[in-house]
Structure 1
C-alpha cells in the first residue's frame, strides 16, 4: 500500500499529513479529522485498511500543536477557528477539490464548523462520536462519571494517578488491554491544547469551548450533503446526545455500534469499515432524496 507523508503550510507553521492509498484512483479520497483537542491522529490507524478494502485514498493529519506537526508556544492559537482554517489549508494544499470528510469527536466539532461555511466540493460528511453541544456533553459526561463505584469516584476526586482510567475504560474504549497505538496517541496528547480548549476532565469544561454549540445552526447545512452519524452504545457521546444531532440533520443516517464505546473503528474495526465503505459507495453511486428522519441502526456484520 502506497503511503505518502509531507507537510502543508499553515499560518507560517507546518501541518504534517499522511496519504494512505492511491490518491489518483477512481474513488474519491476520504479526509479524516481526528479528535482531541491536542491529540495526534494515530488512534485511528485501523481506518487505513479501508484504502485496500475499498480502493480509495485516506488522508490523515496531526493538528497543529500535537504529533508530528509544529508545536507553537502561543495559547492564542488554541481556539476552534484555528483548526477549521487548518482543515481548509490541508484540503487546499493537497488539491482535494472533491472529497469525503470524516470528523471524530472534537474532529466532528471542527468538521461541523467547516461544513457550515458551505465549502464547495464535499461529497459526504461522516460525524463519528460527534459533539454538537459542549454543555450537554459536559453534563452527560458528569452523569457517567457519577455512576462509577464510590471508590473510583473518590480516587478521581483525589486526583490519584491513573484514576481517570476507570472512566475511560468504560466509555472511551472497552478493549482490554487497549491497543498500543491507542495508548501512545492518548499519552501523546498536548495537555496545553486540551487544557486551554476543554479543561481538566471530560466532565469539567473550563476552556474556551465552554458554551460552544452548533445545534441552533444545523439548519445551515447543505440539505443535499449526505451525512452519516456513527456512535457506540457505550459511548461518551451517548445516544441521548447523538439523537438530537441526527434528528436535526435532514436525511442523516445514524449507525449505532452495539459493542463499542467512543472508538468503534478500534473496537469493531471490520464492522465499522464495512458500514463506512457502504455509505461512501452509495453516496458516490446514487443521488436523490434521502430518508426524512434518522434512526439508530445496527447493520448485520
Structure 2
C-alpha cells in the first residue's frame, strides 16, 4: 500500500448551521466499500497532516478529509466565546457532513488524537451506518492525559520543564522561549521526524495562525491542557461501542499506554497495535506499516 497522497476527486464546502465545513473526498462512494471519514486532532488543527491517509482510496475506499469548524478551510469564528466550542458542536458538524455527503448509511471513522475521542463518542451512539472505528493516538480521558503529561515533562532534558513552567505561571506562553522549549517535547513525543514533513508543518502553522479553538478547548500546548476539555472523559461510554475497533498508538507517543489503554480494554473486541518507531503520528513516522495495518483492518470489515 502506497502512502502517497492522491488528488481529491471532489472538494468544497457544505453548509452547517450558519457556517460552512470544508471537505475533500478522494474516490467515489457507492462502489461497494464504505467511505473512510478522517477526523483530525487539536481541537483546532486541520486535515493537512493527515492528507496521506487519502492513499487508501486506491483500495476502493472513498476517503473524506475535512477541517472542523473554526479551522483551515472551514468558517473561522475568532470572536466566539470559549463556551461556544464544545464536543457537541463538533459531533453535530460530523453528523451534518455525513448526511450532506450522502454517506451516512455506510462509513468508517478514523479519528486521530482529539479526533479519536470525537469519533469514539459518535460511535457510542451506535449510528446505523457506522461499519468500523479506528482510534489513533487518542485520549479517552483528559484527566489521565494531564497526569501522563507530568510524567513526560519530568523526563525532558534538564532545564526544559523549568522554562515551560516559568512561562505557564507568568502567562507568557506566547513567547519565543516557550515555543522553543515546547518543540523539545514535540520532537520527542509528537513527531520524531527531522525535519518535520510539510503536511505536519502545514497543520502546525494553521494552529499558530488561528489558535481560537485550540486555546479555548485545549490550552497553549499539548502538555498544558487548561481549556474546557481538561476534565472531560468518555471512558464510561466506551462499552457502548458496537462496531469493530482498531486502536493505534506509538511507543513514544504523548498518548501514552495509560492514555490509550481504556479504548482497548473497554470497547468490546477492540484490537490494539503499537508502532515501535513512532510517537504521535505513525502514519507519517512509519507509513508502510501504518497503511498495511489500516488496509488489513478495512479488508477485515468486508469479511465480517
User: TM-score when scaled to structure 1?
Assistant: 0.90
C-alpha change, 1:86 and 1:80, in structure 2 (3 Å) is: same
User: What stretches of structure 1 move > 6 A for 4+ residues in a row?
Assistant: none
Once the two structures are TM-superposed, the CA of residue 280 in structure 1 deviates from its matched residue by: 0.7
SS of the residue aligned with 1:255? strand
Instruction: Describe how 1:268-283 pairs up with structure 2 within 5 A.
Output: 268-283=286-301
Residues 256-267 of structure 1 mapped to structure 2, 5 A cutoff: 256-267=274-285
Deviation at 1:22, TM superposition (A): 2.6
Residues in 2 aligned to 1:158 and 1:212: alpha-carbon distance in whole angstroms:
26
CA distance in 2, matches of 1:255, 1:231: 7
Residue from 162, 176, 196 that aligns with 2:194: 176
Residue 217 in 1 paired to residue 237 in 2? yes
For 1:245 and 1:5, how far apart are their aligned partners in 2?
A: 32
Aligned-pair distance for 1:24? 3.4
**Under a length normalisation based on structure 2, what TM-score does the superposition of the two structures give?**
0.89
- Are the equivalent residues in 1 in contact too, given 2:144–2:258 (CA < 8 A)? no
Alignment coverage as a number of residue pairs: 283
Out of 28, 49, 64, the position equivalent to 1:59 is: 64
Residues 191-210 of structure 1: matches in 2 within 5 Å?
191-210=211-230
Cα shift at 1:2: 4.9
Question: In structure 2, what is the equivalent of residue 71 of structure 1?
Answer: 76
In 1, Cα distance between equivalents of 2:24 and 2:144:
34
Partner of 1:249: 267
Cα distance between partner residues in 1 of 2:31 and 2:68: 26
Q: Which residue is 2:4 aligned to? A: none
Give the structure 1 partner of residue 44 of structure 2: 38
Deviations 1:40-88 (A, max 9, x none): 1100112121112x22210000000010000123123211110111010
**CA shift for structure 1 position 158:** 4.4
Work out whether residues 139 and 203 of structure 1, in 8 Å CA contact, stay in contact via their aligned partners in 2.
no
CA contact (8 A) 1:31 1:99 kept: yes
Match of 2:131 among 123, 132, 148: 123
Q: How many Å apart are 1:156 and its aligned residue? A: 2.4
For residues 37 and 237 of structure 2, what CA distance do their matches in structure 1 show?
23
Task: Point out where structure 1 has 5 or more consecutive residues left out of the alignment.
Answer: 287-301
Among residues 7, 14, 21, which one is paired with 2:20 in the alignment? 14
Q: CA–CA distance in 2 between the matches of 1:102 and 1:164?
A: 27
Write the deviation string for residues 220-247 of structure 1: whole angstroms up to 9, x where unpaired: 222xx10000010110111222223211
Deviates more, 1:61-70 or 1:191-200: 191-200
